[in-house]
Amino acid sequence: QVQLVESGGGLVQAGGSLRLSCAASGRTFSSYTMGWFRQAPGKEREFVAVMSWSGGSTAYADSVKGRFTISRDNAKNTVYLQMNSLKPEDTAVYYCAATGYPAPRQRTYEYNYWGQGTQVTVSS
């Protein structure tokens, strides 16, 4: 069992940056692959980024590649999503998720635990 709490969302102008944090509770945080997903109003939840539990393997959605960076600090039980060059189409609720699979996973049903989400709004 692991509990996840996202923070760092907010309102930002196009071209700006935000850094999302996901604080995890649980004694086996370092053994979880961590992912970020997002969901815009009226749309399906979509994959954004993932990092394996070892931290040695990452994957990104094509829409954010080169702009977003996922990282983790196992000592702090925290995973981050650095978002640069934000666009209005990045507006969504962003969710942190965890799975016991050791390799990166990109589908929502492959994740066991989810945070409550944090709103990111990018204005033009």
pLDDT tens for the chain, residues 1 to 124: 789 999 999 999 999 999 999 999 876 677 889 999 999 999 999 999 999 877 779 999 999 999 999 998 888 889 999 999 999 999 999 999 999 888 889 999 999 999 999 999 999 9
- Give the pLDDT confidence score for residue 10 in this predicted structure: 98
Contact present, 78 and 70 (Cβ < 8 Å): no
CA–CA dist 9, 92 (Å, integer) = 10
The pairing of strands 3-7 and 118-123 is unpaired
Helices (H) and strands (E) in the chain, counts: 0, 11
Strands 118-123 and 92-99: antiparallel
Phi and psi of 117, rounded to 5°?
A: 95, 150
